[in-house]
Amino acid sequence: MRALRFLMQKEFRQMFRDKGFTGRLFIAPAIQLILLPMAANYTIKNINIAIVDHDHSTVSQQLSNKILSSGYFKLADYTDFNSKAGALIENDKADLVLEFPSGFEKNMIRENNQKIAIQVNAINGVKASIGFGYLSGIIADYNNNLRLQWIQPGRTNTMPTIDVVSSYWYNPSLTYYIYMVPAILVSLITGIAGLSAAFNIVKEKEMGTIEQINVTPIKKYEFILGKLIPFLAVGTVVFSFGLLFSWVIYGIKPLGNIAVLYLFMYVFLFAILGFGLLISTYSQTQQQANSIMFLFMMVFNMMSGLYTPIDSMPGWAQVITHLFPISYFIDVMRMVVIKGSGIHDIRMHILFVFLIGLVLNTWAVLNYRKTT
C-alpha cells in the first residue's frame, strides 16, 4: 500500500509538471462548453429563400412578407423566372425556392383550393428539412388566418378541424443547450480522464520506464491502481468543474440528485478507464494509441446519441451503441439533469455500464499479463 501511495504521488507530480495539463483540465472544457452548444445549434436561422412570384397578387405579397418577417429566412431573390431560381439553388445561394403559380389568388378565391411549389436544396440535409418545416408551418398558419377571414362568423363551421396544442415536457422552450451541455460534458470526461490514462501508460512503455518498474517489487495491481486512481481524481475535478460551469453560464442546475450523477460518473470512469487500459496493452507507442483512440472517439461521438438520437438509428446501429458506455452516460445525464430521474430510474444503466467495465478491465488485465 505504501508503494501505491508513492506511485500516486509520482503520478500527480508528473501531471502538474506537464505544462499543457492544467490547460487541458480547465481551459479546454470551458472552451468546448461555451463554443459547442452555441455554435452547434439546430435552431437554424438565415435560411436563404428565393421567391418566384408569377402572380403578383395581395395574397402572394402577404405570404411572402409573413415568411420573411419570421426571422428564419433571408431573401435570396424575388423573381418572375423559374430558371433564375433554379440557378440560385445550383450556385448554393438559395436553400429553398417558393413558387406562386400565376392566378394564385384568383384560383384560391374561386375554387377554394390552390397549390404552391416548394423546392428544397438538400445538399445540407438538416438545413433543408428544418427550413422546409418552418416554411410549412408559416404557410399553414397563414392558411388558417385566411380561413378565419373568409368564413363568415355565425355560420356553423362546415369543416371540422383538429387544433393541435403542443407542449414540450422537461424543456418547455426546447432550448438546445439544455440537452446538449450535459451530453458534451460526457464527451469531455471521456477524452480527458479516460483516454489520458491510456496515453499515460503507453508513455511509460515508450520511454522504457515500465522496464525499470517491472524489475522492482511493485505489484502489477499496485501499478495499475497507481495509474487509475489519479485519473479518477482528474475525472471528478473535470466533472465538477463542468457542472459548475454549465450552471454559471447556462443556468443548468441538475433537477435530480447530484450524488446520483457522481455515482454514475464513477461507474462510467471504471468502464472508460478499463477501455483506456485495454488500448494501452495493445499499443507500443503513443502514436499507435492515438490512432486507435481517434478511430474510437469518432465513432463514440457520432453514435452515442450526442448529436443524433439513437432511436432514429437502424436496428444494428442501436445494438452497437448499447455497447458504448458513453451512450449510457449521455442518457443518464439528460435524465438526471433535465428530468430529475433518481437512482431507481437509472439502475439498468448502472448495471450495464458496470458489466461493460468489468469485461473491459478483465480483458485488459489478462492481456497485460500476457505481454509482460
Site residues (CB under 8 A) for other proteins? 2-3, 6-7, 10, 13-14, 17-18, 207-209, 211-218, 372
Amino acid at 297: M
Q: What dihedral do alpha carbons 117, 122, 124, 128 form, nearest 10°? A: 30
Cβ of residue 14: shortest distance to other proteins, in angstroms? 5
Phi then psi for 186, rounded to 5 degrees?
Answer: -65, -45
Cβ of residue 273: shortest distance to other proteins, in angstroms? 22
Closer to other proteins at the Cβ: 14 or 69? 14
Instruction: Tell me the C-alpha distance between 260 and 256, whole Å.
Output: 8
Cβ of residue 11: shortest distance to other proteins, in angstroms? 10
Task: Classify residue 29 as exposed, middle or buried by CB count within 10 Å of its CB (0-12, 13-18, 19+).
Answer: buried
Closer to other proteins at the Cβ: 102 or 209? 209
Beta carbons of 174 and 253 less than 8 angstroms apart: no
How many CA atoms, within 13 angstroms, populate the side-chain half-sphere of residue 273? 23
Residue that has been written with the C-alpha cell 433571408 in this structure: 74
Cβ of residue 286: shortest distance to other proteins, in angstroms? 14
| DSSP H helices in the chain | 2-17, 19-22, 28-39, 58-68, 82-90, 104-111, 125-150, 176-189, 196-207, 209-214, 220-250, 258-282, 286-303, 315-321, 325-334, 347-371
Cβ of residue 18: shortest distance to other proteins, in angstroms? 7
In degrees, rounded to 5, the angle at the alpha carbon of residue 300 between the alpha carbons of residues 298 and 306 is 105
Instruction: Tell me the C-alpha distance between 368 and 372, whole Å.
Output: 7
How many CB atoms within 10 Å of residue 130?
A: 17
Cβ of residue 20: shortest distance to other proteins, in angstroms? 12
Closer to other proteins at the Cβ: 230 or 357? 230
Beta carbons of 95 and 48 less than 8 angstroms apart: yes
Cβ of residue 180: shortest distance to other proteins, in angstroms? 37
